[in-house]
């Protein structure tokens, strides 16, 4: 009788876990593109959710503006929930590549809103000068400096790198991001 109860309990648990798996949204393994026109400027952006070792989610948004006012560099903005981490804006972001030297990017978060204080959970970097040095078939890791503790490591999949490189080629209002 006890073994029958155990079997029923295990079967119920398995059905419950399958039901949870079916209704739980899955984070895509690819980045997403969006283009929008704002005030005569076309904004090309790619965003993705990345996770650190503590499973805190980070939004990685690569973007570039093109329009009458000129072309901006390709920026990478990293954002997490307030209180999850305090980015050290005085130190560089390190891009760790397989079989290659690390690349350093200076913090440019102050450009987001020059007359406002920096948000501790937001960082921004100029990707323009290093995108050509990234292998679009290899993942990279971002080593994000924080005020307290070791840097936060974020793994970036190849598809995100490919999209960042595609955004870097956009120099006109009608740039196509289709491959």
Nearest-10 Cα torsion for 104, 83, 29, 140: 20
Q: With 60 as the cut, is the pLDDT of residue 44 above it? A: yes
Average pLDDT, the chain: 83
Q: With 70 as the cut, is the pLDDT of residue 8 above it? A: no
- Residue 40 — pLDDT band, cuts 50, 70, 90? confident
Alpha carbon distance 94, 89 (integer Å): 13
Q: Is the pTM of this model over 0.85?
A: no
pLDDT of residue 10: 58
End-to-end CA distance of the chain: 62
- Residue 13 — pLDDT band, cuts 50, 70, 90? very low
Least confident among 21-25, 71-75, 149-153: 21-25
Alpha carbon distance 144, 105 (integer Å): 10
Q: Report residue 73: phi and psi, to 5°.
A: -65, 170
Handedness of CA 154, 158, 160, 164 (dihedral sign): positive
Q: With 90 as the cut, is the pLDDT of residue 174 above it? A: no
- Residue 70 — pLDDT band, cuts 50, 70, 90? confident
Alpha carbon distance 158, 148 (integer Å): 30
The more confidently predicted of residues 52 and 171 is: 52
Q: With 50 as the cut, is the pLDDT of residue 178 above it? A: yes
Tokens found for residue 110 = 């102050």
Alpha carbon distance 89, 112 (integer Å): 13
Alpha carbon distance 90, 142 (integer Å): 16
- Residue 7 — pLDDT band, cuts 50, 70, 90? low
H-type alpha helices, the chain: 2-23, 158-168
Closest CA to 94 of 56, 59, 140, 45: 140
- What lies within 8 Å, CB to CB, of 66 at 6+ separation is 41, 42, 44, 72, 170, 171, 172, 173, 175
The more confidently predicted of residues 86 and 26 is: 86
Q: With 60 as the cut, is the pLDDT of residue 74 above it? A: yes
């Amino acid at each position: 009788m006890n073994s029958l109860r155990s079997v029923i309990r295990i079967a119920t648990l398995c059905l419950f876990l399958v039901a949870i798996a079916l209704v739980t949204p899955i984070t895509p393994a690819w980045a997403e593109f969006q283009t929008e026109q704002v005030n005569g400027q076309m904004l090309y952006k790619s965003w993705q959710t990345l996770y650190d070792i503590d499973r805190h989610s980070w939004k990685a948004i690569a973007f570039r503006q093109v329009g009458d006012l000129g072309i901006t560099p390709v920026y990478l903005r990293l954002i997490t929930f307030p209180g999850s981490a305090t980015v050290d804006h005085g130190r560089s972001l390190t891009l760790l590549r397989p079989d290659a030297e690390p690349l350093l990017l200076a913090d440019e978060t102050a450009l987001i809103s020059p007359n406002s204080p920096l948000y501790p959970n937001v960082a921004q970097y100029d990707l323009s000068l290093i995108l050509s040095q990234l292998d679009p078939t290899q993942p990279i890791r971002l080593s994000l400096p924080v005020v307290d503790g070791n840097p936060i490591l974020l793994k970036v999949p190849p598809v995100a790198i490919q999209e960042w490189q595609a955004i870097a080629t956009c120099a006109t209002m009608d740039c196509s991001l289709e491959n």
